[in-house]
Amino acid sequence: MLQLVPGDSTKVLILGSDGYLGWPLTLRLLARGHEVSGMDNLFTRRAVAEVGSTSGVPILGPEGRVRAAKELLGSSPTFYRGDVTNYKALEKVISKERPDAVVHFAEQRSAPYSMIDERHAAYTMSNNIVGTINLIYAVMKSGRDTQVVKMGTMGEFGTPNFDIPEAAWVDTKINGKMDTITVPKWAGSWYHWTKVHDTNNLLFANRLWGITSTDIMQGPVYGLRTTDITDPRLFTRFDFDGDWGTVLNRYCVEAVLGMPLTVHGKGGQVRGFLSLEDSMEALRLLLENPPEPGGYRPVNQFRELYSVAELADFVKDVGGRMGLDVKITNIKNPRVEKEQHHYKVESKVLPSLGFNRLKKNIKDEIRLILEDLAPYKSRLGRYRKAIMPRTLWKK
Ligand code: USQ
């Protein structure tokens, strides 16, 4: 495995390069001088349209993005339109690019979308699990020590009463005997379960063939800017509807549109949140500092823990100071989840790599999001109907 020193460049293939995280990571790595290629089947664009919504800020198509990167950053990625569940197509891209690392974002990433009905659940299961298995085989067969950087989720753990370790294995006593087992997981949607299954498959591939992997357990991400997104032509997608938007992004859109912020249930649900900029910085650090060859490295990726009620208060406070009349409502929770619970998470890997500088206060980030969204108020307003959650966990 190539060990990078500052200034070294490496070849990175991003699967899911057209998405919320995939595109800004492309920009971040290009700006760092890395050679970047991307593959995407553009599923998210179609699936968001399927639920009657669109990106809250306009985004270019994949070819336009390549041109904009070339013009504005001086370098651009190679883009392949393709589907990771098509093994031959994936293998072809990997054998052509010969990447040092493959970042895998090419999964259906919405919990509500996976809960719509049996068709959406089955799509999520097959797309996510088959894509990861294909990647494992393509990397194994390439015979090269390519780091697999896999986007998992903090939601794999659920909300247990124990402190969540940053580890794959844990010692425990069962029926009076000690053994080492994988850390217990209890996911809260079909989508989140696919990530648990992926983790098991990655661990097994690591044991079998020594596939080097970083398995990222990331919390919900918010924001629409990074330091590389300096021009609207470089915008990444920004989802806000009931199926595709994450909580803080949704609150910001609701505040801009004068709708009450939709806290699900009591609002005591705590998660590990991070901004888009933090997510990019964490991914860059993990790519530039790979694990030992043959290593499996689980990473808990978040910045700070907040409850969803606290986040609503922050948006109300910041929005109020910007002259917005922000109201909060506790709506009936469409999900089956604990609304008051213990939540403590271990995080050692990212701090050990230098991820400890709090770049911005969360309220400053909220202000930036509200400012960035203001010019798109009428565009957002056209999709107002898609904002309230429509997908219920209990049918
Ligand atoms: N929530 C609200 N109001 C809303 C939307 C959500 O109170 O308007 C609550 C949800 O009930 C939940 C929490 O906010 O308790 C988080 O929901 P979310 O929609 O922001 O995030 P989630 O569905 O968990 O999924 C998102 C990403 C997913 C990623 C995950 C990380 O879509 O891809 O894996 O965050 S985590 O939540 O840590 O599992």
pLDDT, one tens digit per residue, over 247-291 is 999 999 999 999 999 999 999 999 999 999 999 999 999 999 999
What is residue 19's predicted lDDT score, i.e. its pLDDT? 98
Active site residue 191: yes
What's the pLDDT at 23? 98
Lowest pLDDT segment from 1-5, 18-22, 60-64: 1-5
Question: Is 185's C-beta closer than 6 angstroms to any atom of ligand 1?
Answer: no
Query: 106-165 pLDDT, tens per residue?
Result: 999 999 999 999 999 999 999 999 999 999 999 999 999 999 999 999 999 999 999 999
Domain 11-386 class, CATH top level: alpha beta
pLDDT at 2 over 50: no
How far is residue 178's CA from residue 170's CA, in Å, rounded to a whole number? 10
Rounded CA separation 91/354 (Å): 34
Please give the pLDDT value at position 358.
57
| Residue 6 predicted with pLDDT over 60 | no
Beta bridge partners of 273: 304
- Determine the atom of ligand 1 nearest the C-alpha atom of 151: 34
- In this prediction, residue 357 carries a pLDDT of 65
Distance CA 310, CA 362 (A): 11
pLDDT computed for residue 311 by the predictor: 98
Span 361-379, pLDDT tens digits: 999 999 999 999 999 999 9
pLDDT number for residue 315: 98
**Report field, pTM of the whole predicted structure over 0.85:** yes
Ligand 1 neighbourhood includes 367 CB (under 6 angstroms): no
Mean per-residue pLDDT for 72-97?
A: 98
Instruction: Give tens-digit pLDDT for 154-205.
Output: 999 999 999 999 999 999 999 999 999 999 999 999 999 999 999 999 999 9
**Structure tokens given for 201:** 């498959």
Q: Which of 194, 195, 222, 251 is catalytic?
A: 195
Q: Using 50, 70 and 90 to split pLDDT, how confident is the model at 1? A: very low
Residue 195 appears among annotated catalytic residues = yes
* Cβ neighbours around 361 below 10 Å, total: 10
pLDDT at 316 over 60: yes
Mean pLDDT in the chain? 96
Closest to 300 (Cα-Cα) out of 244, 332, 256, 345 = 345
